[in-house]
Each structure stands twice: as C-alpha cells, then as structure tokens.
Structure 1
Amino acid sequence: MLSRGIGGIGAALLVLNGLIGAGIFALPAKMSAELGAFSPYIFLIFGFLMLTIVWCFGQLAILYQETGGPVIYARRGFGDAAAFQTGFVYYLARATAIAANMHVLLLYAGYVWPELNTGIGKSIAIIGITSLLITVNIVGLKAAMRSLDTLSLVKLLPFVVLIAVGYWQLDGDTLLSTEDNAVVVPALDTISAGALLTLYAFIGFETVVVTSGETNSPKKTIPRALMFTVAGIALFYFCVQWLYWHTVGTQPQ
C-alpha cells in the first residue's frame, strides 16, 4: 500500500515543476523572435485553452485514484494495448524532456563554469545530477517532497526577484512608446509556430496524476492543484515574456 504523503502544496509543486523547467531560460527569446509584441499574450490565450485539457485530467483523477495517471486512464477506457502504448510514449516523452532540460541547464551554467560544456565535464555533470535525482526518489516520499520544496524555492525565487526588479527599472518612456510596443496580431501560420513553442511550456502538468496513489485526498487535491497552478503559471509566463519583450526584445539584434 502506497503512503499518501503528498498534500495540496506538494501536488501544486509537482504541477509547477512539471511545467517550469530549464526551458524557461530559452523560451522567451524564441517566442519574441516568432511573435514580437504579441508573444506575451499567447501564453494567456494558450493557457486558457490548456485549462480545458487540464480540467479533463482533473475529472479523471477524481474517478481513478490509482498511481499511473494516463496509463490507468487508457487501460480503463481502451484496454491493455492502449495502456502499454500510452506508458511507452509517456516514458519517451519524459526521457526526451529530461535530456532537453539538462542540455539547456548545462548550456546556461556553462557561462559561469565553462568546463561544464566540455565533453568530459558535461558527462560528469549529467551523471551527477541524474544520480542525485535517482537517489532522492529511492530514499522515500518524504525526502523527495522535501527536495521538491527546496528546488521549487531555489527555482522560483530568482525569477520573482528578476521580475520585480525588471518591472521596477523599466523606462516609462519605453513603455509609452507606441512604435516599440504596438501589439500586432501575427499571421495564422506564425501564431501556429508560436503555439507549438507554447505547448512545450505547458507540457508536464500530468505528472501530478501519475502520483494519485500517493496523494492525500486526491479527489479534491489534484483537480485544485491542476487548475489553480496551471492558471497561475500562465500568468507567470506572461509576466516573464512581457518583461523580456520590453527589455531585450525591443533592442536591435
């Protein structure tokens, strides 16, 4: 019997960490290049659309309170073959996401420690970080949740400070400049390209339903964690992208 040691805050942090990864460091520049001044608003639009999918996962979590998430849902709806395919694809998605986030993390960390971008340095860093994550999960649920709390604080605090300082120091003349800040709705194909980038930013929320069997009162905890956290992260992405556009995005490249 699995221990139901994940509470409301823990479930929300699972959603948060599933969505906000190393990709946040690379995403603003790509979104700004694709969509310009419209780039912050697509996070709100796409975030609202994603809530319809998130709501469905929340309802499924109410019906099926077992560990496994999408695999359980596929089995109950379509049988074992669909469940196996869902699990295999989910495994590949998680593996590629970890690889992509690790690459971006080490790429940016390499600006401080260049050795991390060398062949042997990168290999050692990847093995070390992966081993640490595996160890934390093997030790137990309490240790994993404590680590999650710490990592969430370490991850979010610099962003909160950056956003606060950035907004405080924005030049009022720049904000009032209609030439630099005119929001023009891009062509549909351009929006589609931006939507694919935004989809990457919102993938990962399903992590919380995988641990339904270890969540306290999953009928209430998981739907609330999903809806409120995804909505909050959409606003967070909007703030980050808006700040990026009004600082770096308006400068000649």
Structure 2
Amino acid sequence: MSELKRNIGTFGAASVGIANIIGAGIFVLSGVATGIAGPAVILSFLIAGVIAMLTALSAAELSSFITDTGASYAYTKRAFGRFWSFLVGWFKYFDYMVGGAAVSVGFAAYFTSMFGLEGALPMLLAAIGLPIILGLLNILGVKEATRTTSVMVLIKIFAISLLLMFGGFYLTQHFDVDHYTPFFATGFGGMLSGAAVIFFVFIGFNTVTMMSEETKNPQKTIPKALMLAFAVTFVLYMCVAVILVGILDWHDEAKDAHPLGNIASVISDNQMFFDFISFSALIAAGSVVLSSLLGGTRASFAMGRDRLLPHQFEKISKRFGTPYVSIIVGCLIIVIFAGLFYNNIDIIASIVNFGSLFTYLFVNLALIKLRRSEPKTQRLFKVPIYPVVPILGAASCIGLMYFLSDSAKIVSLVYAVVGLALYFFVFRKTKSTTKDNNQNNI
C-alpha cells in the first residue's frame, strides 16, 4: 500500500495550525460576536479559547500514541469503533470543506472590494478561483503547501501584531470606560452565544493532528506543534478582543464584516496601513482554505482507506505522494458551496461549529475511554489534572452546542441523517484496508 511522505517538522506543523486558526474568522466574526455579546465578548473569547484548549490537550495526548491520518476520526475509531468514527469523520470532513467555502467567499469579498471590482461575476470567479489554485498547490506536495502556509502565517501575525501595538497605544490615549459598560449588555446568554459563534476562530488547531502520517517523529512533533500554535493564537485573540471593544462601538459591529479594518481606520488615517490590514485579511482567508484542504482531504483519505468513503479517496499520486482524489473532490465541494453562499459567514460558522464541537466531544471521550482500556500504552505526552480536563472538555462542548443557532442545529441534523443513511445502506459492510491499530500500538 502507498504511504504518505513524512517531511513536516514542528514549525511546519505549527504553521498549518496557526494558519487555520488565524484565518478569516478573526477578521470577520469578531465583529459579529461583539454585536451578540457586547463588551462581554472579551469573556466570550476566553470561554471559547478555554474550551478549545481543553480539547487541544486531549488531542495532544492522543496524537502522541495514535499517529494515523485522520486525527479525531482515528481517535474515535480506536476508542469506539467503526460507527462512531464514521459520524465523527463525516462531520469533520463537512466542517473543513464548508468552512473553506465560507472563507473563500470572504476572500472574494475583500478581493473585489480592494480592487474596485463590482458585480456578481468577479465575486464568483474570486471565490472559486482561490480553492482551485490552492488545490493544485496541495496536489504538488504537502511540503510545498506548508512552506507557502508558513509565509502566510508570518504575514498575518505581523499584521495583527502591528494592529495590536498601534491599537494598544491608541487605547492608552483615548480610553473610554463607557465602551466597557454595561459589561453584560446582552446578558449572560448573549455572552455564551457570542462564545458559540467565536469558537469558529479556534477550531483550526485540529489540522495539526490530521497530518500525523506526514510529520517527522509525530509522537514528539505533533504535541509540541499543537501547543505552540494554540499559545500564539490565544494570546493574540485575547488582545484583539480587549482592543476591539475599547476602540469600536459594539452596537455598530453586529453585521460588520470588517472589524479589524475599522480599528485600522480609527487609529490611523494612513491609507497604506488600512490597505495592509485588508491585504492581510486576504492572506488569512487564503491560508485557511489551504489548511482546510490539508486537513479535510486527509480526513477523507483516512475514511476512504477504511472503506467509509469510496476507496478512490485513498489513492495517492505516485509522483507527488499526495491524496490527489481527496484533494480534487474537496476542491469541488468548496467551489460548489462558495458559489451558493454569499455574505452568510455567521450562519456557516455556526454550522461548522456544531460539527466541530461534536467531533471534539468525541476527542475528549476517546481519551477517557483509552486511558481505561489501554493503561499500559506508552504516551509521550499526558494530559495534566486527568480526568478533570477531558471531562470538562466534553461537558463544555455539549454546553456550547446548546447556544448555537437553531438553523445550525437543523442543518447539522439533516446532514447527520444523510450520513447515517449512507453508513447503514452503503458503507457498513465494507472492510478497511488497514489493520486494527489497537493491536499495532499497544
């Protein structure tokens, strides 16, 4: 059987995670979440970040001894078997592709605005052109893709750091306590609903664990890369939340898609500074679509190998060593959804969040199960304060799902029903092409 090439190091893997976390979400959804939660969006960021961090710790331990491509799918398969792993993989694949489509539309909006392009055609071409170009890059090789991602990461971090530096200085000179009062302007429920929406900006960390079969020494590299990616993004996001509330009027941000651009226009009248922040939003969107393809296509590759998707998904290019069928299909899904959704990133984000929270629920449950069923398995990284961390992680995932929009719950339910129908009538009796990893890793 063909094998994926192991050529990604700690920085490359962390770059993929940071790229997928620091994406269009922080450039767009931070304003939407602020409109929902008011000044308490600062706590919304904190709550969403802590919940994601709990799952990140569980994923770090699991990735230290389960190195199969598929991450949450692979963990669930080992802990709970074929049925639940199918549901987890089914939702995760959908999350990556639909999330990539939403971000492609965001990219198109920024792109057409920056270059003064009007009409539906330029918007459509930009939205579908981005995933096509990045899909080709992905087929050429994951090493080349992660090199491109690393450059994108540096640009985004520099842009946000620059914005935070000037924004922080501006805030010290123009601090207005009225911006922060009343702090719970929309109530406690509003704060939690804001957390449910803003959770979108943290979910990319799982991409790091999706590529374990392409990572050098994954038992050590994946946990390090995961924690590095999360530490960097968590600090940046909390600073963004404090400055966003301190500079902008939260009442005006409910439907605004350019919150960081608005900050730039307030703190400086330099057009080049505003353009640079807008350009960084394009880079952010591009890196998220690239990382979505990296993560999503590896999920479908793993499911194809286990015959939970058509076996063609496991085909690997002999020349480039990449799962080209999975990449092509993933690009098509992104292109289709990008053509169907315009300016509805808040709704799409909630749909993606539901699926992500569902899969992260099983990451935490898998850790608990495997600690009990495989106590002697060597783990190079162990979750601290066990079992508090995975129990809180699982409970908080369920709680946050409750505060998502009804539309997200309905769409997710319909998607689950479709998946269940496919499983029971098409894939249930098929056999995996890989051996049971339970025995291989004990």
- SS of alignment partner, residue 204 of structure 1: helix
1:133, distance to aligned residue in structure 2 (A): 0.8
Report the alpha carbon displacement of residue 214 of structure 1 after superposing the two structures with TM: 0.8
Q: Which runs of 4+ in 1 moved over 3 A?
A: 177-183, 250-253
How many residues end up aligned between the 2 structures? 250
The 2-side partners of 1:244 and 1:146 are apart by 31
Cα distance in 1 between the residues matched to 2:47 and 2:76: 28
Offset, 1:178: 3.2
Evaluate the alpha carbon distance shift between residue 179 and residue 123 of structure 1 in structure 2; reply closer, same or farther with a 3 A threshold.
closer
1:179 corresponds to which residue?
178
Q: d(CA) in 2 for partners of 1:138 and 1:10? A: 17
Among candidates 39, 43, 47, match of residue 45 of structure 1: 47
Match of 1:193 in 2: 193
Q: TM-score of the superposition, structure 1-length normalised?
A: 0.89
Aligned counterpart, 1:154: 155
Q: What secondary structure, in the 3-state scheme, does the structure 2 residue paired with 1:2 have?
A: coil
Q: How many angstroms apart in 1 are the aligned matches of 2:42 and 2:225?
A: 24
Moved more, 135-144 or 182-191: 182-191
After TM superposition, list the pairs within 5 Å mapping 1:15-54 onto structure 2.
Answer: 15-54=17-56
Partner of 1:87: 89
Q: Deviations over 1:164-208 (max 9, x none)?
A: 222223352x32x43333462452211221111121111121111
- Give the conservation status (yes or no) of the 8 Å contact 1:35–1:190: yes
Q: 2-side partners of 1:49 and 1:87: how far apart?
A: 21
Shift of 1:98: 0.7
Alignment partner of 1:96 out of 95, 98, 106: 98
Q: Distance in 1 between matches of 2:75 and 2:189?
A: 34
Higher relative contact order (CA 8 A, sep 6+): 1
Partners of 1:249 and 1:179 in 2: CA distance: 9
Give the gaps of 5 or more residues in structure 2. 254-442
Aligned pair in 2 of structure 1 residues 182, 214: CA closer, same or farther (>3 Å)? same
CA contact (8 A) 1:43 1:198 kept: yes
Distance in 2, Cα, partners of 1:252 & 1:192:
20
* TM-score, normalised via structure 2 length: 0.53
Q: Which residue of 2 aligns with 1:244?
A: 244
Counterpart code for 2:191:
I
1:60/1:73 contact within 8 Å kept: yes
Cα-Cα RMSD: 2.1
Question: 1:43-99 CA distances to partner (integer Å, 9 max, x unpaired)?
Answer: 223312321111111111012112121221122122223222222221111111011
CA–CA distance in structure 1, aligned partners of residues 38 and 250 of structure 2: 9
Which residue is 1:143 aligned to? Answer: 144
Question: Does structure 1 conserve the Cα–Cα contact (< 8 Å) formed by 2:49 and 2:199?
Answer: no
Stretch of structure 1 that moved more, 180-189 or 214-223: 180-189
Identity, in percent, stands at 28
Q: Deviations 1:125-181 (Å, cap 9, x if unpaired)? A: 123211211111111122112111122123222222222222223352x32x43333
SS at match of 1:73: helix
